[in-house]
Structure 1
Amino acid sequence: MSIYKDCDIRGIYGKEFDEKDAYLIGKAVGTLHRGKSLAVGGDVRISTPVLKEYLVRGLLETGMHVIDIGCVTTPMFYFALDTADPCAAVPQGGIMVTASHNPASYNGFKMMFGNAPMTLEEIKKLEELVYRQDFCTGTGIYETRCVEEEYTDFIERTCKKGSLKIVLDCCDGAASKIVPDVMEKMGYEVIRLYCGNDGNFPNRNPNPAEYDCLADICKKVLETGADLGAAYDGDGDRVVFIDNKGHYMTSEKSFAVFIRHCLKKCTGSFVYDQKCASLVKNTILAYGGTPVMERSGYGFIKRRFLEKGSLAAGEISGHFFFREIGRDDGLYATLKMCEIVENERRNLAEIAEEFPDSIITADLRVFCPYEEQERWLEEASKMGNLYPMSRMDGVRIEFEEGWFLLRKSVTEQAMTYRIEASDKQSLEMIKRIVGEAVPELKKALLNLTE
């Protein structure tokens, strides 16, 4: 399986790639971006230090100016790209060594040049250069820089102080120190859960959007009488919220809360993941905003968010982007949610109850050989003769009572599909229509329950 993905580079360390690959990737980046200054950071994963060491070695051997910002969250890395001490060199891009929400055995590289992630075309160009190994040579410059104090000052200037009681579950990842420390400094009563730096992630899955891993924080919120909880991923850019009744909030519901808050102040557009529940689009329209649907994937969402100058953007994975900072940040999103709760003078459960639930499946997979995948999509696209359809990424069919999405899996010989319906009867109707259009899905759909 290739480590070169649509929006970044990642894979299983020691099996799919190792430090030699990191070294070659460093040389390839240095060749493509010759003479630039790059910030390099890393998360707490066990393999991060050695991968970062070899990556930096490759960059320096091609003449790059490397600014090593140490062990940081991904939002701190983004901050380092946007700001710098007036007397210091300003990074012209950067590489974060992280696999974000993936299990501990994974690692990878998030790359930014300018204010946007690498495109698929740029990643392919990098991959081809690594294969050819036609690298330039040079003598680079290496310096270290700590961004923690500047980042903390930025958050304090940008966000409001508060007094709520909050449980923070940092999954022993990169957010474990900075997030609780900053929130305590801003007046919050913080209860720490899994806030030790341990790249093995011993206490829970580092992907909080897999909601079954959130039982401990839900329990802790109830036990402590906290106003809310916040659960982060391995590198601190994603967050899932827990209300005061110990119930997790889907990312769509959290985004809806942010959308309404933004639209009470001004009008504008919001970018959302095509896999999001209809709640997101409906909330945007209900409060006078402009919905902008985009294909799934961090890079696609962020680029559209920046292109449109949107007020905010959101993914079902728990990434929330805000125009006032120009990027996503789990800590910023948490402080924004706390601000909303305090401003409304109601608890988070009461706020969340105003946004209706629907029936929506997880991303479901069914085996499909690579050579058959286009045919399945063509079969599904015939539904577009009767219903509104998008071919943005795969096939998305809109029904009055919900929608169906069919896409190619990026990791295996499989198709992924997802259905949303307003109620059980509508779910059965959509399953029947889809099963008739794509017979290969009929058996899987018969076994599908809400």
Structure 2
Amino acid sequence: MFKRTLLLLGAVGGGFLIATVWPDAPAALRARLAQGGFLTFGPVVAGSPALTPAATPKPEEPGLVRLTQDQVAKVGIRTEAVRGGRLARHLHVPGTIVPSANNTARIAVKTQGTVAELRKGLGDRVAKGEVVALLDSREIADAKGEYLAARLSAALQKTLYERDQSLWDKRISSEQQYLRSQASYEELKVKVDSARRKLTFLGLGPAEIEALPNLPAAQFERQEIRSPIAGRIVERRVDLGAAVGRDNLETELYSVVNLTQVWVDLAVSPGDLPLAREGQVVTVRTQATDESTEGRIVFIGPVLDQNTRAARVVAELPNPDERWRPGSFVSAEIAVSDKPVRTLVPSEAIQTIGGKPTVFVRVEGGFEARPVGVGRSDDGNVEVTNGLEPGDVIVVANSFILKAELGKSAAED
């Protein structure tokens, strides 16, 4: 303490001596004493450097980060103009591609017999009504014979009925004979219709039934098995020469699937189930190839699965090129809401600075940190309610770098 007092007195004395004994002392010395916190006495010329504050650089504007174009490109900062858009919320659920039950058929036989010919193999395409197999069946031969016999008897009885009707009209024969012929004819028509229905049930089409009178007797046992839908053979269950039909024998020959439309089985949790509705748009995406397509919900199961406790939701997808294969695992996005907004920005453009949501706006000389008001949001975008106007250019990628630079500048200050 004593030493500091001596130094202070010495400084004061030195300054007094310089001011009285050496009035023309250099201004630099006098300024040096002033900068050192020493008191100066004596005349001082107005406007001398000793009284003029040192020049300081112009302070940076608060919230402004200055970067050159090269720096912007180097750190990967990307900008876009603010614009309006649609705010869409999506429900993300897993799913599995399955064949559409509306486009699946099993080609089966309805009578006992032996497989005489198989015309299609696995993966082959078939048209609707195309013959896929031939069956030899004694039962089908009996049914054809029964129909032809009934048809022939009905034709003969029709002739007798028409003759008796003509005679009765001329009052040549009795009314009783006419009525008896009429009853016999109607009875035989019923038998013909019954035999026709039996053949239809066994799988014969109208054209085949009409062609039976001209069919060679050797082909009476042969039955053509046709595909009920167009599609592809996905399963063959019998071999050539196999016995098929009833009495614990195999009845199905092929399975056919039309893959131009497929279903997506979605598992939706009970909590999210109120958000799903029939008719909603579903975007389906596969991780393996990153392909995507859109479909619509056609069914919402009323019962939860006992094992997973999830509801079954089915969406139908168009599949004209058959690239969506049944059995594939996919991820699905169910569009829950879709509303237009005036100002929409990506979520990654929003940074929290000073407890407020902030975006970096491109201005002359750099980027300005501008607080904004935010509203609703969806999977990747946020509605801005104030602080931005459509057309403003903002940072939409790597804005965290500007946040870090802004924090660094504030720490240095």
Name which structure has the greater RCO, CA cutoff 8 Å, separation 6+.
2
Normalised by the length of structure 1, the TM-score is: 0.17
Q: Which structure dedicates a bigger proportion of its chain to strand?
A: 2
